[in-house]
Amino acid sequence: MEKERNKQIDGIRGIAAIIILIFHMFCRYLQIYENSNIGWMEQWGSFGVVIFMLISGYFLGVESGKEKLTEKKFKFFQYLFKKLLRLWPCYILAITLTMITVKCAGLPGRECSLLDYILNIFFINGFIGTPYVDGAHWYLTTLISITVIIGIIKKIKFNKKPLIYCIWILVTGTLIKLGYGKFSSIIGGSYLGVALVGFAIAKFLNKKEQKYNKEWIILFIFSIVYCFIMQGIVGFIILALGTIIITMCLMKKMKFLESSIFLWLGKISYPLYLIHQNIGFVIIKKLSEVTGSYQIIFSIIASICVLVLAMLIYCFDKVIEEKVKNKIRKRLIKI
């Protein structure tokens, strides 16, 4: 029997998506195109990313009933394909719409070639230095690299050894400090610590992992120290706040997050993240060119437009899930 879905996690996911949307539409656009800034909003994007990364790390650490049953014969490529299958339909539609919009309307410094687009489709671009169709999609590169390495750790049956994750942190941090930052992104990059905080929380809350509790606490501390070294005191404060919020959600102490509006935003959070930045920038820029100057109403209009687009992509993904994704999952289980 599957565990009941935690609505509060869905709700905080929705809030995080809106925070990132507001940051890009009202602050980041000004930084890039208007040589201006909203200082008090500068860290909103980072906060939203930390929330998403903690949630992703947590769910990578949670083992489903099926995973426990097949633990002895863990199939790495099946595991990886199932993870990517969840991302693909929304992602392909979003980057296609983004590329066409930017190509037709123009957005200086944000264009990409057909080859770039193809490499983006298969998530290869972030690992070989090819431009993103939308720069906000760097998060997917980090998430996929962390997912792949956790899969490898499971395959070699080291997943119940917290020390291996600490070594992973040390290697990644050393590469960054030695100036190999681009290579380090292949194994998790500067946000690795955030994901492993969420991962350690999942393991710590798992009753069957309690005999390793002291070691998972060490991983938790290692991860926090790594974040402090990589992102400084501000990054540390954001992580601490995010960790408290996520933990309270897991304990179901934030009932207001179960509001229908937050749950709806949680449902469309992934397509909203995928579609919002460049298309939003195009809308704001074109409206600014028509009137001769930027006005805050343009950011509001762009936000509404990308919310509608995200909802449409979500509906498209649900159709694909019913007709294609579920059938593929069933076939993978049989393999």
User: What is the rounded end-to-end Cα distance, in angstroms, of the chain?
Assistant: 22
Q: How far apart are CA 181 and CA 174, in angstroms?
A: 9
> What would you measure as the largest C-alpha separation in the chain, in angstroms?
65
3-class secondary structure, 35? coil
Domain boundaries, the chain: 7-334
Comparing 67-71, 97-101, 153-157, 171-175, the range with the smallest average pLDDT is 67-71
Helix (H) or strand (E) holding 17: helix 7-22
- Residue 77 has a pLDDT of 87
Helix (H) or strand (E) holding 148: helix 138-155
Answer for the pair 298, 288: CB distance below 8 angstroms, yes or no: yes
- Residue 151 has a pLDDT of 95
pLDDT tens string 206-221:
876 666 677 889 999 9
Q: How far apart are CA 90 and CA 271, in angstroms?
A: 6
- Say which amino acid occupies 13: R
The secondary structure of residue 135, as a DSSP letter, is: G
Is 1 a residue whose pLDDT tops 50?
no
Confidence of residue 326 (pLDDT cuts 50, 70, 90): low
Answer for the pair 214, 72: CB distance below 8 angstroms, yes or no: no
Confidence of residue 2 (pLDDT cuts 50, 70, 90): very low
Mean of all residue pLDDT scores within the chain: 90
Angle between helices 162-177 and 192-205 in degrees, nearest 10: 170
Vertex 101, ends 287 and 36: CA angle to 5°?
Answer: 45
Is 331 a residue whose pLDDT tops 70?
no
Name the nearest CA neighbour of 15 among 177, 227, 179, 257. Answer: 257
Is 332 a residue whose pLDDT tops 70?
no
- Residue 206 has a pLDDT of 80
- Residue 69 has a pLDDT of 45
Answer for the pair 173, 230: CB distance below 8 angstroms, yes or no: yes
CA 181 to chain centre: 19
The pTM (predicted TM-score) of the whole model is: 0.92
pLDDT tens string 47-96:
999 999 999 999 999 975 555 545 567 889 889 988 898 899 999 999 99
Q: Which tops the pLDDT comparison, 210 or 30?
A: 30
Instruction: Work out the percent of the chain whose per-residue pLDDT is above 70.
Output: 91
pLDDT tens string 91-108:
999 999 999 999 999 998
Q: How far apart are CA 45 and CA 24, in angstroms?
A: 7
Q: Which tops the pLDDT comparison, 181 or 312?
A: 312
3-class secondary structure, 321? helix
- Residue 265 has a pLDDT of 97
- Residue 108 has a pLDDT of 86
pLDDT tens string 215-239:
889 999 999 999 999 999 999 999 9
Answer for the pair 17, 48: CB distance below 8 angstroms, yes or no: yes
User: Could you write out the DSSP letters of every residue in 187-235?
Assistant: GTGGGHHHHHHHHHHHHHH-GGGGGGHHHHHHHHHHHHHHHHHHHHHHH
The secondary structure of residue 3, as a DSSP letter, is: P
Comparing 170-174, 221-225, 260-264, 318-322, the range with the smallest average pLDDT is 318-322
Q: How far apart are CA 4 and CA 68, in angstroms?
A: 18
- Residue 190 has a pLDDT of 92
User: Could you write out the DSSP letters of every residue in 58-113?
Assistant: HHHHPPPHHHHHTGGG--HHHHHHHHHHHHHHHHHHHHHHHHHHHHHH--TT----
Residues 6+ apart with CB under 8 A from 58: 198, 199, 201, 202, 246, 250
- Residue 58 has a pLDDT of 97
- Residue 321 has a pLDDT of 76
Name the nearest CA neighbour of 304 among 267, 325, 275. Answer: 275
Name the nearest CA neighbour of 102 among 292, 314, 286, 294. Answer: 286
Q: What is the mean pLDDT of residues 317-328?
A: 76
Q: What is the mean pLDDT of residues 294-323?
A: 93
